[in-house]
Amino acid sequence: MPEDKRQLILEASVRVFARKGYHTSRVGDIAEEAGVAHGLLYHYFKSKEELLETIFRNTWTLMLDTIRGVESLDDPSRETLRKVAAIVLRAWRDTPDIVRVLVREVTRSPHLQQEIGEIEQAFAALERVIRKGQESGEFRDGVDPRFASFIFYGALEEILTGWVMGQLPDTEEDVRIAERTIVEMLCDGLLSAAPVRA
Amino acid sequence: MPEDKRQLILEASVRVFARKGYHTSRVGDIAEEAGVAHGLLYHYFKSKEELLETIFRNTWTLMLDTIRGVESLDDPSRETLRKVAAIVLRAWRDTPDIVRVLVREVTRSPHLQQEIGEIEQAFAALERVIRKGQESGEFRDGVDPRFASFIFYGALEEILTGWVMGQLPDTEEDVRIAERTIVEMLCDGLLSAAPVRA
Amino acid sequence: MPEDKRQLILEASVRVFARKGYHTSRVGDIAEEAGVAHGLLYHYFKSKEELLETIFRNTWTLMLDTIRGVESLDDPSRETLRKVAAIVLRAWRDTPDIVRVLVREVTRSPHLQQEIGEIEQAFAALERVIRKGQESGEFRDGVDPRFASFIFYGALEEILTGWVMGQLPDTEEDVRIAERTIVEMLCDGLLSAAPVRA
Amino acid sequence: MPEDKRQLILEASVRVFARKGYHTSRVGDIAEEAGVAHGLLYHYFKSKEELLETIFRNTWTLMLDTIRGVESLDDPSRETLRKVAAIVLRAWRDTPDIVRVLVREVTRSPHLQQEIGEIEQAFAALERVIRKGQESGEFRDGVDPRFASFIFYGALEEILTGWVMGQLPDTEEDVRIAERTIVEMLCDGLLSAAPVRA
DNA sequence: GATGAATGAGATTTCATTCAT
DNA sequence: AATGAATGAAATCTCATTCAT
């Protein structure tokens, strides 16, 4: 049975990292979780760190492709942002362990973060969406698109973090509420009276 | 005055954690940075972890007090949020290393699970501000205040992260732009045409 | 013809051992050098050690036979020693990698303790030549033939080592000089005035 | 009791390397032999390899100094060579474990050998002695001094090797015989009739 | 014959922490 | 208070060898 051991090990590492954190996870734990000898791990991956790197890269590549797909639909900008929010937030219900690992480790690995251009590209994509919204007149000028993209991404990530840390409720209904809240807040604003627009 | 060396070590640990991350920092690095023998560290602190805990508690308490101070001024809610954003973002220029450590290590560290209680209080304060704004009619209903507080916090944190990682410009002027962008985006919204408010 | 691959592996191992030394060479290196899967190696050889053993035995046997051939010619002893020196030293130009391995690994390897019996035979042959020279009156008495054989062998080996390590020049002309130097020095001596012989 | 643990470890490593060979010796063996925790080894030495390197360098430095001392006495060249031979050969009785390690490992560590300029300097010293003998007329011309120094050194090393491998007798009397044999053979030659000198 | 995935014993090294001085 | 030698648990990684295909 030629089950793909490489994939087996990779998925095991996601579960173990999610459970114990990267630094606290031992290579032996991962091998045990995968049901293979620990030596095999080094047949497929150069090091423990390469596992984490692979998880990062795989996920971000996928995420980026999806975002680009959404971008190319040419929806109104608000709708594009909503779809992006939906994709990111629903990852929590689809692959919670991966989200756990990313949320907990990504920020703490300055080394990794730099190597992974995908993250930067995600910001760039968000920035494009916002800038395009401004050019079309749907979004107002005067908001810096670069900072805005960070704000949007930070909002998404913090909600994921809240779920990971168990600080926020996360039923399916909650996920929908979170999605709507982000879009309404960032696009429509908190204020009840519309501000005077220049 | 024995507090001297203790403080020396603590400040050294902030710099080292900021530079290399908690897990990657060795006790010897901190001692070297402080210019003392590594044994001395254990005279003042129980363990390496206690250092991180101390950094967190010192800063977080201060931050929390400042936020509560702002809260008690009874400004309009939008103005309160602006002041909170200003305090947090300006900390970057004043004590960037501490910000680095808090952003990277503390908020999402399983080490400090017990500290989550104190982190929670920050979210609770933000939530109060938003809820109060809704009750006074300044903010519209229909936005979940709990999620909104996470969004606000996440926006702040991501901009700090952008600065930490060198992805965002951080001159004094930029800090002001960031502050304004956050408040405008979250309170007034991205849209150019004010939506119909129920 | 299955001997093909066997020979391929054997020759590859000579090159790899010569380049990196026995202990530092990995079985995978040898397989790669030979262009075969490393598993195949175990089809032809019991272990990594058997490779070294095989190299040794092949070469040493050949060398020993040649020396014995020279011995049986019944030349004057000085001429016999010259021919032995010539054979050994010229091997460097013909098969430098094998010489490298023999010089570096085999002669002083505890792995091949059992092979010392065969090494011993080389010394015994040299000893016989010297002793015979003494009996015929060509060489003087008073020089211990056993020690003398080691001195002769050591002289040869060190020059080979010098070539292996790049410390000595090794053009064809140099090889001839080396050969002459050894014979002159060991047979005629360094002194300009002949000592009084008892 | 401030016994020098560094020295303790170094000496233990000599014994262990002598007994089992460098590659076969485990760091734990050395620590056990020294009666310390294996971690301490890394307090004093960067790695297992640095131990071997230190042994090499210490011994060669000592040896080189001694040779230079002998050189500066300005004895007749034959006498200088005799004294050098005596120093080198007597090392076997004085510090047999060190000799064992050097004889067995030195040739097999191409890496180390290059780093240790002392070896080359020893050859240079021998070369100087021989050349000086030629210039003074004590030694005849026509023998290449560089090759001659290798021959001399090789003769010494092979006799040490014979002792290490148990192939040669090594009573005090034997050591004296070896010393005399080397000098007689290399200076006076094997021949009973003095050759015609040009 | 030939492959290379799989194994696992075992090696080196790191580093937080202790403690005698 | 201050030092840094000493400890040893624990972690990562290597690599000769086996064996199913």
Residue B104 forms contact with A (CB below 8 Å): yes
Fold of the domain built from segment(s) C1-45: Arc Repressor Mutant, subunit A (1.10.10)
**Chains touching D by CB (3 or more pairs below 8 Å):** C
The helix/strand count (H/E) of chain C reads as 9, 0
Separation between Cα atoms, residue A158 and residue A164, nearest integer Å: 10
Contact A159 B159 (CB under 8 A): no
Contact at CB, A133 and B158, closer than 8 angstroms: no
The better pLDDT of the pair D3, A188 is held by A188
Q: Which residues between 165 and 194 in chain D have a beta carbon less than 8 angstroms from any beta carbon of chain C?
A: 165, 167-168, 177-178, 181-182, 184-194
What distance in Å separates residue C34's CA from the closest CA in chain D?
23
pLDDT at A3: 59
- What is the mean pLDDT of the segment spanning D3-31? 94
Distance from CA of C24 to the nearest CA of D (A): 9
If you measure CA to C1', which residue is closest to nucleotide E3? C37
- As a whole number, the mean pLDDT across chain D is 90
Q: Which residues of A touch B186 (CB under 8 A)?
A: 151, 185-186, 189-190
Candidate from A167, A177, A188 with C-beta closest to B191: A188
- Where does chain A hold its CATH 1.10.10.60 domain(s)? 1-45
* Inter-chain CB proximity D178 and C22 less than 8 Å: no
Nucleotides of F under 7 A from a protein CB: 1-20
CA atoms of B157 and C166, how far apart (whole Å): 61
Burial class (CB in 10 A: 0-12, 13-18, 19+), A34: buried
Tell me: the pLDDT tens digits for D41-50?
A: 999 999 999 9
Q: Is the CB of B43 under 7 A from strand F?
A: yes
**Which residue in C151, C159, C161 has the most chain D C-beta atoms within 10 A of its own C-beta, making it the best mutation to test that interface?**
C151
What average pLDDT does range A7-11 have in this prediction? 96
Residue C1: pLDDT band (50, 70, 90) is very low
In the predicted model, residues of chain B with pLDDT beneath 50 are: 1, 198
pLDDT band at A2; cut points 50, 70, 90: very low
Helix (H) or strand (E) holding A41, with range, is helix A38-44
pLDDT value at position C194? 58
Contacts of D165 in chain C (CB under 8 A): 108, 116
Q: Is B21 helix (H, G, I), strand (E, B) or coil?
A: coil
* Joined tokens for residue B194: 């004010």
- From chain C, pick out residues whose CB is under 8 angstroms from the CB of D121: none
pLDDT at residue A1, rounded to an integer: 41
Q: pLDDT grade, residue D1 (50/70/90)?
A: very low
A97 token code pair: 């362990």
Question: Do chain A and B touch: 3 or more Cβ pairs under 8 angstroms?
Answer: yes
Q: Name the strand (E) or helix (H) holding B172.
A: helix B172-183
Predicted pLDDT of residue B92: 87
The answer to whether chain D touches chain C by having 3 or more C-beta pairs less than 8 angstroms apart is yes
* Per-residue pLDDT band at D102 (split at 50, 70, 90): very high
State whether CATH 3.20.20.10 applies to domain B49-188. Answer: no
Nearest CA in chain C to D182: C151
Share of chain C above pLDDT 90, in %: 68
pLDDT digits (tens, 9 = 90+) for A62-71: 999 999 999 9
Contact call for A151 and B185, based on CB within 8 A? yes
Percent of chain A at pLDDT > 70 equals: 91
- Nearest-Cα distance to chain A for B190, in Å, is 4
Q: In whole angstroms, what is the distance from residue B142 CA to residue B140 CA? A: 7
In chain D, list all ranges with CATH 1.10.357.10: 49-188
DSSP letters for C25-92: --HHHHHHHHTS-HHHHHHH-SSHHHHHHHHHHHHHHHHHHHHHHHHTT---HHHHHHHHHHHHHHHH
* Partner-chain contact D190 C186, CB within 8 Å: yes
Q: List CB contacts of B49: < 8 A, sequence separation 6 or more.
A: B111
For residue B97, the chain A residues in CB contact (below 8 A) are none
pLDDT bin (cut points 50, 70, 90) of residue C181 is very high
The pLDDT tens digits for C140-173 are 888 999 999 999 999 999 999 899 888 899 999 9
Average pLDDT for chain A: 90
CB contact under 8 A, C108 and D109: no
Query: What tokens does A123 get?
Result: 């910001």
Amino acid at C14: V
- Is there a contact between A182 and A159 (Cβ–Cβ < 8 Å)? yes
The amino acid occupying position A196 is V
CB interface of D with C, residues 122-161, below 8 Å = 123, 130, 133, 137-144, 146-148, 150-151, 153-159, 161
User: Taking a C-beta distance cutoff of 8 angstroms, is the pair A92, A160 a contact?
Assistant: yes
Query: What is the predicted pLDDT for the residue at B1?
Result: 46
Closest to B105 (Cα-Cα) out of B9, B16, B192, B172: B16
pLDDT digits (tens, 9 = 90+) for A107-166: 777 677 666 688 889 999 999 999 999 999 899 888 899 999 999 999 999 999 999 989
